[in-house]
Structure 1
Amino acid sequence: MEKNNLNNNIPKELFVPLVRKEDTSDKISAPSRTFFQDAKRTLLGNKPAVFSMILILFIIIMSIVGPWMNDFGSDEQDLKRAKMPPRVPVLENVSWLGMDGTLSGKFQGKDVQQATAKANARFDNKEEFIDIKVLNKGDGTRNSAEVEATYRIYEAKDMKDTYFWFGSDALGRDQWTRLWEGTRVSLIIAFVAAVLDLVIGVSYGGISAFYGGRVDNVMQRIAEILVGIPNLVIILLMMLVLKPGIISIVIALSITGWIGMSRIVRGEVLKLKNQEFVLASRTLGTSNGTIIRKHLVPNISGIIIINTMFSVPGAIFFEAFLSFIGLGIVPPDASLGSLIDLGFDNLRLYPYMLVFPAIVISVLMIAFNIVGDGLRDAFDPKMHK
């Protein structure tokens, strides 16, 4: 009874009838998006991947315009200016950046005089251009005294108005120009090898899986034979047939590099070729080529893009490795690997010759891998919100 009285005391104005409108009941409030639109949104929301793409784009642009930003040619040699340290306008006033155009080192001796003599001998005995700072006066015993010497080499060689932004190498060639030209060569090799891997791998794996049976058995046995041949052996054979350079490296990378892509594509096509939409296309009389091109490849495009992106840093590293061991780009041509090899030989005395190409190749490797991870997340439907 009390419950009924409570309900009777509620004002009727609080009750509003629900009106169902047929034209709005099934209306979708948010705009529909395709799979690729979802992937794009996920990728652009990945800040590390976006930043990495900006870095890659910046390095690509610099590899094109960088060599034209100063007046030095990549093959312009002058032993007078050999092994000059980095010197950059404005930044030369900030000594701790290492861009002030000086060479420095610490020298030890039984006393300050002996340590200073070693410093002078190291820097061509040009005492008027060498600043000595005593770190330890010593006690007369062996190597107890220590001094720090700073050599103003640009002044010593009467090159006060000359700037080598990344220094110069042992033949006096500008490292800035050679670095970006070498980066361009490495990127060309990597992208061409990646495209060839993409074309050959997708075609080979798709045809093998789609036709199956005896065709698949024969094609996979051929792939197994090729993958069993070490890449280094192929490179050595290419060196005998072709001259060392971009063409021989690209061919060597392409001979076996596509096999990984073909296996991935084969596995995806084997899963898709018996699904309903493929069977319906066959029933309608669609040709095999059209089914592969318009139905199967678009459905595996995500995994293709991801693996292509991961193959680029692998090709960059492989080229650098070959050039480092002397089987890649041959001087006077430059690549990141050949520059790192030259810098490694001068690491103790002129570390800047190694630092800059090592930074560029490290940034490229990390950036491409981060972008690859971002693409993998973007093309994974489980990651979409």
Structure 2
Amino acid sequence: MDNKKNEQQVPKELLIPIERKEDTSEKITSPSRTFMQDARRTFFKNKLAIFCVIILGLISLFSIIGPGMNDHGLDDQDLSRAKMPPHVPVLENISWLGFNGTLKDEFKGNDVEHATQNAIQRYNNDKDFIDIKVLSEGDGSKDSAEVKATYHIYEAKDMSDQYFWLGTDTLGRDQWTRIWLGTRVSLIIALVAAAIDLVIGVAYGGISAYYGGRVDNVMQRIIEILVGIPNLVVIVLMILVLQPGMLSIIIALTITGWIGMARIVRGEVLKLKSQEFVLAARTLGTPNSSIIRRHLVPNISGIIIINTMFTIPGAIFFEAFLSFIGLGMVPPEASLGTLINTGFENLRLYPYLLVFPAILISVIMIAFNLIGDGLRDAFDPKMHK
């Protein structure tokens, strides 16, 4: 009774009828997004992957313009300035950064005088340019005394006005120039090898899975034979037939490198070829080549892109490994592998020859892997929100 009484007390002016339209409930408030738009949106939300894209872009840019950023050209070689440490303007005033153009090491001896003499002999007897700091006085026993020597090599060689941003190598060539040239070579080898693997692997795997039957059996037996051949054996054979260099490495990488892509594409095509849209295309008389190219490959593009992104760092590492063991690029040609090999040989006395190319190749490989992780998440429908 109270509710009815309250309803009667509400003024009729406040009761405004709602106008309802038939198509209101069916109206779409915003345009729908395609799968690729969702993938792009998810990828751009991954800040770490975007940061890695920027880093790789900068590295690629420096690999192009880096060798020409100073006055030391590719052929600028002088043994008198061999193994010079990094020397950078402005940064030379900050000693702890290590870009002040000095060589530092610790020397031991029976006493301070003996340890100091060892340091002087190590640094070409340039007493006037060596600073000695005593770390341990010693007690007269063998190697009980220890000193830290700082050798001002640029002043000793009357080169205080010259700057080698990342130092020089064993032949006096500018490391900055050679590192970026080596990065360019390594990236070219990896990208070309990955592109060839992409083309061959997608075509081979797609044809094998789509036609199936005897064609699939024969093509898969060929893959099994190639898998059984070690990559190192292929590399050695390539070097015997061809001259060591970029071409032989690319050929060696692509002889068996496409197998992984072919297997992945085959598995995906086997899942898709019995779908309704493929049967509809066959019914309409679409050629098999067009079905593979226009219908199947676009539907597995995400897997292809992700696998390619993981293939590139693998190719970079494989090239560096081959050059490191002497089966890849041959000095004086520069690549990250040859630079790391040179640095490894001089690690004890000149660690900067190894540190900079090792850091660079590590950054490149980590960046590619993180971008691959970002793309994997982007092409996963479960990650879309």
Sort the TM-score into its range (normalised by shorter chain).
over 0.9
Q: Match for 2:312: what amino acid?
A: V
Alignment of 1:295-310 (within 5 A): 295-310=295-310
Q: Distance in 2 between matches of 1:365 and 1:322?
A: 16
Question: How far apart in 2 are the matches of 1:58 and 1:74?
Answer: 21
Superposed displacement of residue 357, structure 1: 0.3
For residues 164-313 of structure 1, what are the structure 2 equivalents within 5 Å?
Answer: 164-313=164-313
Which residue type is aligned with residue 270 of structure 1? L
2:137 matches 1:141: no
State the Cα deviation string for residues 123-167 of structure 1 (Å, max 9, x = none). 111000001112222233322222111000001011111111111
More displaced 10-residue stretch of structure 1: 208-217 or 3-12: 3-12
Q: Judging changes above 3 Å, is the alpha-carbon distance between structure 1 residues 377 and 98 closer, same or farther for their aligned structure 2 residues? A: same
Distance across 1 between alignment mates of 2:241 and 2:74? 28
Alignment of 1:69-88 (within 5 A): 69-88=69-88
Give the 3-state SS of the residue equivalent to 2:322 in structure 1: helix
The residue type paired with residue 62 of structure 1 is: F
Shift of residue 6 of structure 1? 4.4
Counterpart CA distance in 2 for 1:66 and 1:57 is 13
**Amino acid corresponding to residue 321 of structure 2 in structure 1:** F
Instruction: Give secondary structure in 2 for the equivalent of 1:150.
Output: strand
Q: Which amino acid aligns with 2:44?
A: L
- The one-letter amino acid of 1:306's match is I
Amino acid at match of 1:92: E
Code of the aligned partner of 2:214: R
The 5-angstrom pairing of residues 4-15 of structure 1 reads 4-10=4-10, 12=12, 15=15
Find the residue that maps to 1:199 and give its secondary structure.
helix
Instruction: Identify the residue that residue 154 of structure 2 maps to in structure 1.
Output: 154
Structure 1 distance, partners of 2:46, 2:232, is 37
Give the alignment of 1:84-163 within 5 angstroms: 84-163=84-163
Structure 2: distance between partners of 1:269 and 1:376? 18
Query: 1:250, 1:16 → 2: CA distance?
Result: 77
- The answer for unaligned runs of 5 or more in structure 2 is none
User: Residue 356 of structure 1 aligns with which residue?
Assistant: 356
Cα displacement (A) at 1:215: 0.4
* C-alpha distance in 2 between matches for 1:354 and 1:13: 85
Cα pair 1:43 1:374 within 8 Å, conserved: yes
Q: 8 Å contact 1:312–1:368 — kept in the other structure? A: yes
Identity across the alignment (%): 72
Could you tell me how far apart the structure 1 residues matched to 2:27 and 2:2 are?
44
* Displacement after TM superposition at 1:11 (Å): 5.1
Considering only aligned residues, what root-mean-square deviation do their CA atoms show, in Å? Answer: 1.3
Q: Secondary structure at the match of 1:134?
A: strand
Cα distance in 1 for partners of 2:109, 2:331 equals 40
Give SS of 2:83's match.
coil
Q: Deviations over 1:179-222 (max 9, x none)?
A: 01100110000000000000000000000011111100000100
Name the amino acid aligned to 1:235.
I
| C-alpha distance in 2 between matches for 1:322 and 1:234 | 12
Contact 1:377 1:383 in 2 (8 A): yes
How many angstroms does 1:108 deviate by? 1.7
Question: TM-score, normalization: structure 1?
Answer: 0.97
State the Cα deviation string for residues 314-350 of structure 1 (Å, max 9, x = none). 0000000000000000011010001000000000100
Partner SS state of residue 5, structure 2:
helix
Counterparts in 2 of 1:13 and 1:224: CA distance versus 1, 3 Å: farther
How far off its partner does 1:7 sit?
Answer: 4.2
d(CA) in 1 for partners of 2:129, 2:211:
76
Deviation at 1:73, TM superposition (A): 2.3
The one-letter code sitting in structure 1 at the alignment partner of 2:232 is: L
Equivalent-residue separation in structure 2 for 1:282 and 1:14 (angstroms): 64
What is the letter of the counterpart of residue 268 of structure 1?
Answer: E
Q: Provide the secondary structure at the position in 2 that maps to 1:105.
A: strand
Tell me how far apart the structure 1 counterparts of residues 14 and 116 of structure 2 sit (CA, whole Å): 97
Deviations 1:264-308 (Å, cap 9, x if unpaired)? 101111111111111111111111111111111110111101101
Q: Following TM superposition, by how much is the alpha carbon of 1:75 offset from its aligned partner in structure 2, in angstroms?
A: 3.5
- Pairwise CA distance, 1:4: 3.4
